Structure 1
């Protein structure tokens, strides 16, 4: 089975994050960048499927040069190789443009199964698996807490607020996973050393046949026009119960349009 795992490098969600002042995009240059947490579960699931069914696992990343750091960490977990889509014109791309580029890259890889995290910690829009499936003309099995492979049939337990749904499709397909699906392995020293020798192919927009005008700020369908830091928390309004506290509480709630 040929499995491709989408991996995104994101600013560490445990540290303070900021937007750049010049173009209102995420300031990745000064951030502590890591593999998107959900993608680590997708990598682990791919490795387990390879161990059970054979085949090959490829990491696919779109990002700037420094995303190579996350590619090597992903490879140290055990995948066989990686593809890095890198081009200066990609800066400022929206989700729609990103899906176009990733779909073009996936079209060169002949994947039976495309795995990814259910969401990224920097965007949290959960749309990429659906966009890719639409562009590639294949099924999308999203939000999986369990994945079973039987020949060319994929079955997932799709996690929802009430429990789960059982959904099936045939390969090729896109499957996104939640952190309930497994427990990712830690890279071993042997894996870290082996990752340094694993092949990483770089692809540009020209390699994929995508015009620069279709991505970046020129091709974006949305933009951040203004941003400011959240103001410091101010002191709250204290209501002392002197017999009229209930009235003042209701008045406050009404002024804030809660009632």
Structure 2
């Protein structure tokens, strides 16, 4: 009976995974079709694949938008970790007056929809001449991801016994040395998983990109939207761009999967 239940659970798990993965597979396949084949219903699974869409979108400027996405994601993620990790450490390890209120303030900034603040943000960046620049997107992505870093990393730091920090201080380590040489190596999986989430959020950000950029600093999601025209949707080309855009997060997740699994089981999903 237990074996039958285990087989049934395994089958259900694979079935759910296939259902969730099917749209991604369909997107990938559509990128290799001719534009006339992309809208055929039901979708044709047997066809002559072509790289024409990938060559066309890459030669028409996708490389520029791809570089912008890489730059914005990498720099904003690094900056968010540099700012958020020490703040999370302080909130977790030190008795800070009204520390819970400070943590709630960090989290509350995530409750405001971006669309509700985009107009004043646009006016500010317009007045300081930062529209259509990578710096504008980096600043906004950092502001968007720092609360996430503080919230997640605080959970990791709370799992570390404070006796370990006191022991390092008895051995002569300063506060900074204890932070860098003791606690950071312990919570490295948490840093990786948190950084991964920040990078994905920055990579996929569309509203900020379409509102604050035009051509020079636009990212892949903004470029993808250009294939939605008055004549209709260019499904094959859009699928090719989406496939190119999905590769970096997938590759990064593949190489960091062990750290991600460890990070999610160390307490990152705790409150």
Place the TM-score, normalised by the shorter chain, in its bin. Answer: under 0.3
TM-score normalized by the length of structure 1: 0.21
Structure (1/2) with the larger helix percentage: 2
Structure (1/2) with the larger strand percentage: 1
TM-score normalized by the length of structure 2: 0.20
Larger relative contact order (Cα-Cα within 8 Å, sequence gap ≥ 6): 2
